[in-house]
Structure 1
Amino acid sequence: MDLKLIEGFLDEYLNVHGFTDTSTNGLQVEGSHDVEKIAFAVDASMQSFTYALECEAEMLVVHHGIIWNGVDRITGLLKERLKFLLENELSLYAAHIPLDAHPEIGNNAMILRYIGVEPEDRFGDYKGTKIGYAGYANSEFEEILEILEDRFGEVGYMKFGDDYVEKIAVVSGRGAGYIEEAKKEGVDLLITGEIEHSAYHTAKDCAMNIIYLGHYNSETPGVKALMNIAGDKLGVEVEFLDIPTDL
C-alpha cells in the first residue's frame, strides 16, 4: 500500500492536526512509499527501529516520536536516529495527544472500558483541550484495583478516598497534575501512568484515590487498538513491538 494513503487515513482517523501539542504529530520521517507491514510501539527509539526492521516492517507508528517542539538543529541523538531511519527507508509516524484523546481507541477511553466504565465526560485540560475521560461506576476501590492488576500486573496506588467509587477519571502517562482538577469535578478515583513525589500530599490533602499503572503500561492500550484498526481498515500486516520500560 502507498505510504501516502496510510498517512492520510491515520491523519483523518486521529485528527492529528486538531490538537495543540509539543509533539510533531503525523508523519515525522518519510521512508519507503511501498508499505506491506506496519509495526506499532509506544516509543520511538533505536531499539524500536531495529525491531521494526527485524519484523520486516516498512513503517513504524508510535505514541512518542522523535520530534518535539520542532527542530532547531540535527545533531547528536536526533542525527543518529534520523540517519538510521533514512538509510533503512523506515517511515516514522507519531500520534501523541491525538492518541490520548481519541474517544474510541484512545488510551484514556480504553482504560475506562477495561474496568467496565463507558467514557462519558471529557476531563483533564491540556493547552485548552480535554485529553482524558471520566465515567461512572458502582464499584469498590479494591475491585477496580484487582481488574487493573489482572491486566497490567503489579500497579501502584494511593488510597486516601472512600472505599466506594462512583466517578472515575483517566489521564494516561504523566497525569498526577490533574489531582486538584479531579477533586473539583467530583472524581473519586484518578487513574494515570506515573506519579511524582509531590503528588502524595496533593492526593492526601484532596482525599483522592489514585491508581498508577506505569507510564508505559498506561499508553499501550491506544497503540494496540490503533494497530487493530489499521490492520482491519487498510488490509496491511501489523505487529505490536512490546518494549517495556518498567516506568
Structure 2
Amino acid sequence: MDSEGDDRVTTRDDIDAYLRGLLEVDRFKDYGPNGLQVEGKPEVRKLVSGVTASRALIEAAGKAGADALLVHHGLFWRGHDGRLTGWLKARVALLIEHGISLFAYHLPLDAHPELGNNAQLGARLRLTADGRFGDQDLGWLGRPPAVMTSAALSALLQFKLGRAPLVVEGDGRSIQRVAWCTGGAQGMFEAAIHAGADAYITGEISEPQAHLARETGVAYYACGHHVTERYGAPALGAHVAQCFGIEHQFIEIDNPA
C-alpha cells in the first residue's frame, strides 16, 4: 500500500477533470477513449492502480475496497463493436457490482514527462532524456549512465526489470545514444534509427525488426510489453492520491507478455 490517506474523500468527476488536464488527453490521437470509461460511485476514498483492466485486477480491486481503478490499458479499443458479451461483459459487470469507476489512459500516460511510462522506465535505467522522436513525439531519446557495450545494456535491463530481454545485436558499436518507447512500439524502430540511436528499447518485437537491427547496426532490446509499462500507472496513482489526500494501492497482476 502506497498511502494510508486521512479519510478524505474526493469525487470521481474531480479526478476525471484533473487527469484530463494533467495528461493533456485532448492532444492525442489514440486507439480508444482516454479518461473515465466506466462510471462507478461518485465519491472516491480509495484509488487502486494497475497496468491492465483485466478480470483479475478488477477482482483484486474489489477485494481491496477500491472506489476507482486507474489503468494504462482500459476496456474499449478502436475496432470493438460495442457489444457487452463474454469477457468484456464479465469485466464491466464486476466494476458495476463493486461500484468501481474505471479510468484508463493509454498514449497520454506513455507520454507524460514525469509520471509516464517512458519517463518512469528511463528513470529506472538512469537514462538522461534529451529528445523525442516518432509519431506524436512518443519515443524518447537520450544517453545511458555511461558509454556501454550491448552486453552491458542487456545486463542492466535484466537487473532493473527482472527479466532478460530478447536482444538482436547490431554491429557491436559502443552505445552512446539510446532510444526507447514502452509497450508495443516495435513499429517505431525505424524512427529511432533515423533519430541517431545506437540501441532501441521497447516491449515487443516483430519479424521485420530483427532484419533492420542486423542491417543498420542498431541493437534492439525487446523487454516485454507489461514489464516496460508497469511503472506509469502506480506513479500516476500515487500522484493523484497525494493531490486529493486519498488512499492509493498499486496491484500487480503479472503478465509474461
Partner of 2:35: 26
**Counterpart check, 1:135 vs 2:142:** yes
**Pick aligned residue for 1:217 from 227, 230, 237:** 227
Contact (CA 8 Å) 2:139, 2:188: kept in 1 or not?
no
**Counterpart check, 1:54 vs 2:69:** no
Aligned length: 244
TM-score (norm 2): 0.89
SS in 1 for 2:129: coil
Contact (CA 8 Å) 2:71, 2:104: kept in 1 or not?
yes
Question: For residue 147 of structure 1, what is the amino acid of its counterpart?
Answer: L
TM-score (norm 1): 0.93
Q: What does residue range 88-237 of structure 1 map to in structure 2 within 5 Å?
A: 88-125=98-135, 129-137=136-144, 138-140=146-148, 141-156=150-165, 157-237=167-247
> Once the two structures are aligned, what percentage of the paired residues are identical?
33
Larger displacement relative to structure 2 (150-159 or 95-104) = 150-159
Give per-residue Cα distances to partners, 1:106-134, cap 9 Å, x unaligned: 11122222222222111221xxx111211
1: CA distance, partners of 2:95 / 2:235: 25
SS in 2 for 1:166: coil
Give per-residue Cα distances to partners, 1:196-237, cap 9 Å, x unaligned: 233211211121111222000010121121122112212111
Give per-residue Cα distances to partners, 1:157-184, cap 9 Å, x unaligned: 2221334111111111112212222221
Contact (CA 8 Å) 1:194, 1:214: kept in 2 or not?
yes
**Counterpart check, 1:37 vs 2:37:** no
Contact (CA 8 Å) 1:100, 1:132: kept in 2 or not?
no
2: CA distance, partners of 1:95 / 1:182: 24
Larger proportion of strand: 1
2: CA distance, partners of 1:112 / 1:142: 18
Give the Å deviation of 1:71: 6.0
Unaligned 5+ residue runs, structure 1? none
Contact (CA 8 Å) 1:109, 1:132: kept in 2 or not?
no
1: CA distance, partners of 2:249 / 2:56: 15
Unaligned 5+ residue runs, structure 2? 1-9
Contact (CA 8 Å) 1:124, 1:171: kept in 2 or not?
no
Report 1 or 2 for greater relative contact order, CA contacts < 8 Å, sequence distance ≥ 6: 2
Larger displacement relative to structure 2 (86-95 or 68-77) = 68-77
